[in-house]
Amino acid sequence: MTPTEATVAEDALLSVRDLRVSFPGKGRRAPRAEVLKGVSLDIRPGETLGLVGESGSGKTTIGRAVLGLVPVDSGTVTFAGERIDRAGRARRRELGRDLQVVFQDPYTSLNPSLTVGDTLAEPLLGHGMSAKQARDRVGDLLARVHLPADAAARLPREFSGGQRQRVAIARALALRPRLVICDEPVSALDLTTRRTVLDLFLEIQEETGVAYLFVTHDLSVVRFMSHRVAVIHHGNIVETGDARALTTEPRHDYTRALLLSAPVADVDRQRRRREAARRLVGPPAADERPAGG
C-alpha cells in the first residue's frame, strides 16, 4: 500500500494523510502561501523515516504540524490509532508522553536558567512522578546519554554543543516516548560530535524501540540513520522508499538532483554533478546556493 492512498496503514505508529498547511502571504493582499500541499507518510513502531529536501521545502512544517504547533488546513494525522490533528491543549499535553521532539539548536532549545537536573525532572514531575522517582530517573537518563551524574547540578552554558544536544535528547526520552521528531538534530554540531550523537540516537532506538522522524538536508546523515526515506520538494513528497534503494536507484528526477548536489571531495567532479543536477531540475533555490556562488 502506498501512503498516498486515503486509508491509514494499520501497522503504522504515525500516519499522515493529505496534509495541507498554509501561512499568511507576505503583503496585505498576498494570497496565503501553501507550504504543505497534500503530504502523506507513515512511520512504523521502531522505525526511522528520514525526511530530506532542500531548505524551505516544508520539512520542519511537517514535524510542527504533527506536534500540533501549526494549524492544519486539511488532512489527517493519526498517532497510535488516534486522530490527533484537532487535539486540544489538554490532550496534546498527555500526548507529550509518547510524542517528543529534539530541535536543531542545542544553544537555544534549553532553558539557560534551569540546571540540567531540573530540565530533565520537569517533564517527569509534570506527568506525576514523585521528587524521589524523578531524581532517580534523571540519574538514569544522564547515564543513558553518557553524561556524568554531576551534570545534574550544572547549567547548560557549562556544556559544549554536543553535550547540550545530549541533554536535549535525554529530555526528549524522559517519558519513554514512542516517537521522537528529530529536526536537524546534528546540523549545528561539528563533524566528530555529529557522529557520536548519531550513534547515540541509534543506540537508544535499539534499546527502547523508539521511532524517529529524522529531518535533515544531509543525505549522508539520512543514509546512516534511516530505514526508509521520504523526499520532499516544494511541499510535496515526491518519492518514498527503502533508504538504500532510494539513494542508489532514485526514481524521481528531484531525488537524483538532490543526490548529485551532495558534496564530493573533487572540485571538478563537484562542478559536473551540479551541472547534471541543474539539467534535471533547473537552478537551485537562492538559499540553496553556496555563499558567493
Ligand X SMILES: Nc1ncnc2c1ncn2[C@@H]1O[C@H](COP(=O)(O)OP(=O)(O)OP(=O)(O)O)[C@@H](O)[C@H]1O
Contact set with ligand X (CB under 6 A) = 23, 35, 53, 55-61, 217
Query: And the C-alpha cell for 70?
Result: 501549526
Which CB contacts under 8 angstroms, 24+ apart, belong to 130-133? Answer: none
The candidate with the shortest Cα–Cα distance to 173, out of 142, 196, 215, is 142
Nearest residue (CB) to ligand X, 67 versus 116: 67
Query: And the C-alpha cell for 72?
Result: 492544519
Nearest residue (CB) to ligand X, 20 versus 135: 20
CA 270 to chain centre: 28
CA 43 – CA 28 distance, rounded (Å): 39
CB of 63 to ligand X, least distance (A): 8
Residue with cell 525532572: 121
Q: Look up residue 154 and give its DSSP letter.
A: S
Nearest residue (CB) to ligand X, 60 versus 226: 60
CB of 125 to ligand X, least distance (A): 31
CB of 118 to ligand X, least distance (A): 29
Nearest residue (CB) to ligand X, 98 versus 288: 288
Nearest residue (CB) to ligand X, 56 versus 75: 56
CB of 43 to ligand X, least distance (A): 17
CB of 228 to ligand X, least distance (A): 18
The candidate with the shortest Cα–Cα distance to 77, out of 122, 25, 13, 141, is 13
CA 210 – CA 181 distance, rounded (Å): 11
